């Protein structure tokens, strides 16, 4: 990844997130990635509910996940994230998960998102402000 990490968030695997094999179910990882994106946006001063009330909806357009190693119940891990722009309207969140404390790579995620207003892609002022604050560059 050519993107620097801008944000990180620690988690603990809960028992109910594991499948019959005793590992985190593959779909649960998307919840981790989504929570990380939401926390990053919140830290950047962007409130999803307020955006929606203004008629602006950030949505996911594409998700790519490369699973490297499974997590198990009670594992601690950290999600690290960087962001790049793709074109004028899309944002790509590069999200990597590492087990703690050994920093073993668990997965690489790439999530492409866009903001919609009345069904049309756009970049709201609040998101443009985030781009400047974090010096997010074109990918």
pTM above 0.95, yes or no: no
Cα(120)–Cα(131) distance, rounded to whole angstroms?
20
- Give pLDDT, residue 89: 87
The catalytically annotated residue of 2, 15, 19, 125 is 19
**Closest of 98, 92, 87, 104 to residue 1, by C-alpha:** 92
- Give pLDDT, residue 92: 93
- Give pLDDT, residue 46: 86
Tokens of 106: 């668990």
- Give pLDDT, residue 123: 83
- Give pLDDT, residue 139: 67
Question: Which segments of the chain does DSSP mark as H helices, in order?
Answer: 28-43, 48-53, 125-133
- Give pLDDT, residue 104: 98
How buried is 125 (Cβ within 10 angstroms: 0-12 exposed, 13-18 middle, 19+ buried)? exposed
**Closest of 4, 41, 24, 37 to residue 111, by C-alpha:** 37
What Å distances lie between residue 137 and 25, 69, 83, 90, 91, CA to CA?
33, 30, 8, 12, 10
* Residue 2 a catalytic site member: no
Cα(23)–Cα(15) distance, rounded to whole angstroms?
9
Q: pLDDT averaged over consecutive 10-residue blocks of the chain (139 residues)?
A: 86 97 96 96 87 91 98 98 90 96 98 92 78 71
- Give pLDDT, residue 87: 86
């Amino acid at each position: 990844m050519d993107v620097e990490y801008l944000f990180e968030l620690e988690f603990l695997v809960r028992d109910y997130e594991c499948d019959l094999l005793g590992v985190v179910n593959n779909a649960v990882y998307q919840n981790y990635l989504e929570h990380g994106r939401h926390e990053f946006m919140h830290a950047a001063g962007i409130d999803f509910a307020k955006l929606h009330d203004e008629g602006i909806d950030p949505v996911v357009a594409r998700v790519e996940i490369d699973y490297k190693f499974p997590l198990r119940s009670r594992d601690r891990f950290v999600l690290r994230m960087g962001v790049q722009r793709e074109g004028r309207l899309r944002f790509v969140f590069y999200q990597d998960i590492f087990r703690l404390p050994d920093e073993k790579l668990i997965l690489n995620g790439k999530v492409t998102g866009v903001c919609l207003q009345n069904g049309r892609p756009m970049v709201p002022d609040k998101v443009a402000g985030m781009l400047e604050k974090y010096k997010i560059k074109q990918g």
